[in-house]
Each structure stands twice: as structure tokens, then as C-alpha cells.
Structure 1
Amino acid sequence: MATTKFKGTDVELLGNEVKVGDKAPEVTVVNSAGLADVVVGGAQGVKQLIIVVPSLDTGVCATETRNFNARAAKLEGVKTTVVSMDLPFASGRFCAAEGIDKLTVASDFRNKDFAKAYGVLLGGSVLAGVTCRAIFVVDANGIVIYKEIVPEITEEPNYDAAIAAAN
């Protein structure tokens, strides 16, 4: 059983654990801009940087998304997507207010298909039902080449390692 921590307490991660070397599950999430379907994972002919956050309505998630928005502008040929459980309307407002325009911000609110397929759904805790904080880099052929489950949900990920894997 995979776990992460929330304020020092172990939290179980539910779903199918995806590991480096695995085929990245292809999952449809909802874009915050226009409620269009967005496919993440699978073989898309380009690298994918998939950033998973619990909610854009928290300081750490907002900071992380702003940082990746700035860094994504420098990545060539990489599809960058932030996935959370936030409603698309709320994440759309966040993007508009924060100038998030170099990456796609999407929601897994409908069926939690992404969270279950990637093993990032938080189980029994006060945050049950949202995602943990994680990063996946998927190569053009749909293989996971980098994964980070941030050990403590309240902390930021290793930006440099994720960007290096995506380059």
C-alpha cells in the first residue's frame, strides 16, 4: 500500500499504483477553460508533464502551479497539465486571476478516474477524496519516465528534477 503524509500523519493512497517504466494510463479529465475534455497519459507523440495537486485553493498548490506555469514556458515539445479535484469553474477563476496561461489546468471531479488510475487518490483522512501532490513525466510513447509522490502533502515537489525529466 502506497502512502503519503498530511501534517506528519500517514495517508493511504487509493487506486492503481503507477511506477516508472509502466505504461501511463490514458485518462480524460475536464479542462478549466471551456469544460472541454483533455486526455492525459497514453502515447501522445510528445512528452507530458502531469502535475497533480490537491486543490488550487491552497497556498502550496497555488505556488506550485505558478512555478510550473513559469517553468513550462521554457519547455519545448512538452504538454504540461495540472490535475486537481477542483471544479473547473473555480480553477478557471484561479487561472484568470493568477495569469496561468502556459499550461493546461484540468479537473478530475467527475469520476476520479485519473486519481484512481494513477494511484493518487487520498484515502481515510480529512482530505479523503482529493489527490495527493505528485508529478509524472510520460515520454512520447506513453511510458512513465519520472514519478514523484511528494512525501508530505503540505510541501512543494522537486521542481528541478521534474523539469530535468521533462527536458
Structure 2
Amino acid sequence: MATVTLKGNEIHTIGNLPSVGSPAPDFKLTLTDLSTRSLSEYEGRKLVLNIFPSIDTGTCAASVRQFNQEAAELDNTIVLCISKDLPFAQTRFCGAEGIENVVMLSDYKDGNFGKTYSLEFTDGPLQGLLSRSVVVIDEKGNVVYTEQVAETVDEPNYKAALEALMDA
């Protein structure tokens, strides 16, 4: 179990993120067109998993905007923005914001991504949602960087994630 805070109050996840150097666990997530996407479909590409509780919060929206901007300049890299938001909400947000350089994915159907990556909240007001985290995966499918943001209302360390991506 990992402990983070929400506005200074402790909340917990079901475990810890996959360790650096380990193979990234497979997943099945839902695209905005309601089709299913798995990790294997991104084989041979570098991935940034930008994971957050809900697109309808300021910090989550800011992380999608920032990674959208950064992703436009990255070679052989895809940024996957993952939450439990319905694909309809993700589509609405991206359309309103002009977000075109990231892939929005939802864990709303069965929640297996949050369980497999051990970042589903087990208590507090965000129980059942995903903890704000970043996981960077290299072309071989191995985890090269992780961050579970200690204070949920804070943004992730974009610079560290992008540096890990460049070193991968």
C-alpha cells in the first residue's frame, strides 16, 4: 500500500507502482471511440503514461495540456493519458482544449489498470479513482521511470519524466 495526500490528508492506494527495470504490465483500456487498446499495440514505441483521478480537475487538465505540448516534439513516443473518466468526457475536454498530441484512455469498464498498476485509491474522497502518477516505458516494454505524486493536487515532475524518456 502506498500513502499519498489529498490537501494534506492521507489517502492510500492498493500497492506500489511497477518497479523500474521491470516489464510494464499489460492493460486493456478504452479509447474515446469506445474501442479497446492494450499495451502490446504500442510495441516498439516509448510511452509516457500520464495517470490521474479525473480530467475535470484543474491539476489533471494541466497535466494533459503540458504533456500534449511536450509530446508534439518527441520522436517515437506516445503519451497515454489515463483516468476512469468516461470516454465522452475525455472527448469533450480534448475538443474544447484542442488536445491532439496525446491518446486519451479510460479504465472505466473494469478498473483492472488501476489494480494491475497498484494505483487505485482504497480510501478517502477519491476512493476507486486512480492516483496521480507517471510511468515511462521504453521501446522494449520495460519501466524506466515512475512517479506517484505525493500530494494529489500537485502536478507531476514533467522534467524528470521527460529526461527518463530521453535516456531510455
TM-score (normalizing by structure 1): 0.94
Pairs aligned (count): 166
Task: Give the residue type in structure 1 aligned to 2:156.
Answer: P
Contact 2:26/2:38 (8 A) holds in 1:
yes
Question: How many Å separate the matches in 1 of 2:136 and 2:123?
Answer: 27
Query: Residues 46-76 of structure 1, C-alpha deviation per residue, up to 9 Å, x if partnerless?
Result: 1111110110000111111001100000111
Question: How many Å separate the matches in 2 of 1:163 and 1:149?
Answer: 15
Contact 2:136/2:146 (8 A) holds in 1:
yes
Gaps of 5+ in 2: none
Contact 1:51/1:82 (8 A) holds in 2:
yes
Tell me what 2:61 maps to.
62
Tell me what 2:134 maps to.
135
Question: How many Å separate the matches in 2 of 1:109 and 1:22?
Answer: 26
**How do residues 1-167 of structure 1 correspond to structure 2 at under 5 angstroms?**
1-15=1-15, 17-32=17-32, 34-40=33-39, 44-167=43-166
Question: How many Å separate the matches in 2 of 1:24 and 1:107?
Answer: 18
Contact 1:24/1:41 (8 A) holds in 2:
no
Question: How many Å separate the matches in 1 of 2:41 and 2:127?
Answer: 27
- SS of 1:122's partner is coil
Q: CA deviation at 1:36?
A: 1.6
RMSD over aligned Cα atoms: 1.5
Task: Give the residue type in structure 2 aligned to 1:103.
Answer: V
- SS of 1:68's partner is helix
